[in-house]
Structure 1
Amino acid sequence: MPESPTIVVVDDAPEVRLLVKTQLRLSGRLEVVGEGADGYDAVELARAHRPALMLLDVSMPGRDGLAALPLVLDASPTTRVVMFSGFDRSGLADHTRRLGATEFVEKSVPLDELVDRLVAIAAPPGGGAPPAHAGRDDGGATGADGGAGAAGGRRAKADLDLDPVLAEHLERFREIFDDAAIGMATMTLDGRIVRANRHLVGLLGDDADALIGTAYADLALDATPVLEGLQALREGGGAVQLEHGLADEPARRFAATLSAVLDAQDRPLYFLLQAQDVTEQRAAEAELHETEQRFRLLVEAVQDYAIFMLDPDGHVASWNAGAQRLKGYSSDDIVGRHFRIFYPVDKQSERHPEHELAIARREGRYEEEGWRLRKDGTRFWAHVTITAVHDADGVLVGFAKVTRDSTERRRILELQQQANERLRRSAAEQAEFLAVTAHELRSPVGVLAATAETLARHHDELTPVERTDFAEGMRRTADQLRRLLDDLLTASRADARSLGLRVEPVPVDDQLRAVVTSARSSRPGAEIVLDVEEGLVVRADPGRLAQMVDNLVVNALTHGRPPVAVAARAEGDAVVVSVRDSGPGVAADLRGRLFERFGTTTGGTGLGLYIVRALAQAHGGEATYQVEDQSFVLRLPRERGA
């Protein structure tokens, strides 16, 4: 009996490697001789085993599949590399073939079909006709020219096996990406584009296939900011914003936001790009700025300029009408007095006015902005220019001093900075929301569907350990999806103020016992102590009350130490529910943003505590963190008479 062809499986997700290895073993048609988690492993495994096949993931930490592919073929030229990816194959498949890949397979393909295709690829030339699907994409079109229609058919086939709700969510996320009004792309950890939406393709004036595999830094006029931003993301930084010109069109300006999609250990899996052409905006801003400057000069020359002379020692020697309007002194009030009178007391003590004159005397001119005082003691923000004045013989005869009231301009700049900061935070939140949601759905849905199919078809063939591992994996994945969908829906409704609460009297004891029982069931061995005062009744939506307490309990079990104490007591017109673990508590630098959206993301959506506070406030209550006893506290209205 001939030996089975050898294969190496390289993917950063242990669950994916387990599924593929198990299916290959069950088929008995291919022998797995090695497995790896990144591109570095791929090259070493190719060199060590020279396998007939390698199944290679596209996006992995350290070195991605696109970077590893040529190195694998250098190490083992006879190895046939099959790229395996959760990204759509459109454009990416052709690019990987140009790099030397034999085939490109999406992770949504059924495992039985995956094995068939791998066996067909491993078959020696002339060893029989390959299966009908070999060399074709999942929708039936050839890999070289299968367009949007084929991709759509492929997605529809894969999504038929998914829960309808999840399939609907996935399709919505695809639509959001493809139809977004800004340019968007997903990139490998090396910064190469693997998928671009229509808007980005239009902005760059290229076709989608030409962009696939292109390093985004190569598109920039100056690649340094892009490369530095990508490195910051790889090192664990947050969203990076930058602006750059285009290499082939230097006059155009692009504003880009780069963010990382992270795994459960906060490691970057791939990058998300959002880009906009701001060329016209910057030109309009420059034109507006120039117009504003001319207008401001005209107006301020009439109303806002104080122009007067100082003698060589700093005493006021002349005074104009603009100075009187700005500072409140008449000519009789001020002429002959030292100009330090216009400065706050601290500046006078520092002899700052004399320092200004010394610089103007030495360098010919002095300019600054700072606080000045009017006659009535009120402050204004002044732009000051002091120019040394010399006679024909070069002897210093005094100083010309021009002061302009810039208080309003300063206020506008501060407001603009605040507005820009709000926009930046909003853009970063949206980018993180999209990146987190896309990642959180894609992997668990694929794993859950494939695991269920493997158990259904090969239950009796699996070892007891494999069945136990698969069952536990399905439970964790299903719980992860349920929590994700609950959190997303609740956060969306909270933002839209459309929670639709059904408030009624709810016995606290029954509700908390149900939550604790559920938590113990989902986390065997969890130590949870319940202490509830008898007879407590709150006015709340039962389901939302359970969701709030469940989020707090899961938060304590996930980030704290056992045992976890859940307690409830009456306090005036309120019922106070507290959840406390036995760990060291929340670090001081995190407390201020505990209940913000994505405020403390360490795997998952980062919405749990945000949802607790939003639901509590919707009930007329509040959610807080008490530093004294390191507990999370939920305060809700108590049912009258209870």
Structure 2
Amino acid sequence: MKSKFGPENAYEVLVQSVVDYAIYLLDREGRVSSWNPGAERIKGYSPDEILGEHFSRFYTEEDRHAGVPEAALVTAAESGRYGAEGWRVRKDGSRFWALVAIDAVRNDKGEVIGFAKVTRDISDRREAQLRELESERRFRLLVQGVSEYAIYMLDPDGRVTNWNAGAARIKGYAAEEIVGEHFSRFYAPEDFEAGLPSKALETARRDGRFEAEGWRVRKDGSRFWASVVIDAIHDDHGQLLGFAKITRDMTERREAQQRLEEAREQLFQSKMDALGQLTGGLAHDFNNLLTAILGAADIGGRHLGDPDKLRRMFSGIETSARRGADLTKQLLAFARRQPLELKLIELAVQLPLFAERIGPTLGGDIQFETAFDGDLWPVETDPSQLEQTLMRLVANAQDAMPEGGRLRFAARNARLAGEVQGLAGEFVAISIEDTGAGIPTEIRPRIFEPFFTTKQFGHGTGLGLAQVYGFAQQSKGAVAVESAEGRGTTMTLYLPSRGAAAAERADRAAAAKPGVLVVEDEPFLAELAADLVREFGYEPYVAHSAAEALSMLTRISGVKLVFTDVIMPGGMSGLELARKVRTRYPELPIVLTTGYSQVVGSAPEEFPLLPKPYDVRQLEETLRSLVKPVSHDLGSGIGPADRTLGSPEQRSDGLSRRS
């Protein structure tokens, strides 16, 4: 097929078809002699407006003053071609970034007769390049500004190609000292000999990343513990360009972790030492008590016909048992598992009375002083435990002054806002101050440890201050210590004030009731409790499980109080029994007893609790304080036959009634 374009006009048609490039001719002086649509679109001039005009009008004013257009034509005429990028101006005065090429046009004799000029608007490409350059500039500034991390590049062989400020700070090399050097010089000699640098690069090359921690060496030869990351860098075709390496000095964190581990180890060892002291002290004290009990029992068994001897042996057994009970109470108080028998205490009345009792026991070489605020707030706590705590503090102060001194017993109201061990609210501060030798700084943190004592063997169990601490914590208070060697010690017990709210709990009804149901699975303890109840003037009933106790309550009208152990067989505990009884018979008093029970220790104060081993007088007082004076039947379902049950032979429910 023959083209419709002849040889004479084919190029003209081609040029006139191009709209993305301005293609036009200039005469020897630089005047426009042709103009294509691309030139009209890019520069904004129509052919009628621009033909015959000098091409310099496309240049910025500053370039025209600098002679850039003329220099471009000279260059093209002399070398045959001129190429450049720069700002150009459209007809409307707006600027665009142009890629320019000017070629000299020659005749057959080689003489320059004009110029062919091609211009392309590359503003978008330049803006993208500028954005990329700005991004790279900011990234370089970012990397150079990081001083906590060494960030630098390695070539594929592991030689340093750049260096940031963090690398200079951490490793000690300036950029001119290290660029071009192999990164293996940062490794410790033993790691270098083991080939770790090459293994690191190989791992990064194979897996894309290498991470590790280890010793690295600074320029001055000192070592630091480093966290290292090496990432492989590839081009768009997957070709390895090199590695990005980040190193952080972790020496301080590693040392802190080591110190923490050492502290944990020391704490664990201290706990083990305290546990050893605790078990050793317990074994010593209880072995003494058991020796006394076993010896007295053996001697009593040999003299059954000697009432006086038996009486002395039983007395010794009772004394040893009471000491064992006291020791157990001290341990439970320290562990905060000994339930407190809370009562509202008017300290303004009780503390002066206590001071009157202890004053004469101190001896003439100790000056005893008191200082009590007249309006001391009441506190709700266990009176017996409080008195024992104060006695221990006084005894400690007295022991601290073997040559005599001054003991000051004081109490004041205190409103706290966290300054004392985080306590906040209204408290009463009871302090015992002595002028003794003071507590050495190195043992001060250990004074509340169980069985820790500085006294000679046999002159103290080491439980005194441990009990004080346990009592304070269980009372939701605190004990604070101020001491100076050579000047004395002040122990301050902070107890929360309860005010009138506790007075309601202290005002309980107390009256005698004829029947007590003893619920105890241990036969001997059940018999013992029944005998004691009978001695107090009550009629005892005995059940050996919670199920038996519930059955008995549905059949017998004479039960006016339930006295139950907490730990019971058969799936129902004494506490669960008490709650069932409370639901069915809301007016029936219930007393719990246990040797140790976390359930009861953490339960709400629903029922009175009598800890084992209980004192006979304590049991009697508890029963009499709870039983009402007027007889009361437990339900309408109790028939006449039930009211006459008097002996084991008359019942088939498995319960025994002791008369």
Asked if Structure 1 and Structure 2 have the same fold, meaning a TM-score greater than 0.5 normalized by the shorter chain, the answer is no
Which protein has the larger Cα radius of gyration, Structure 1 or Structure 2? 2
Q: TM-score if structure 1 supplies the norm length? A: 0.33
Q: TM-score if structure 2 supplies the norm length? A: 0.32
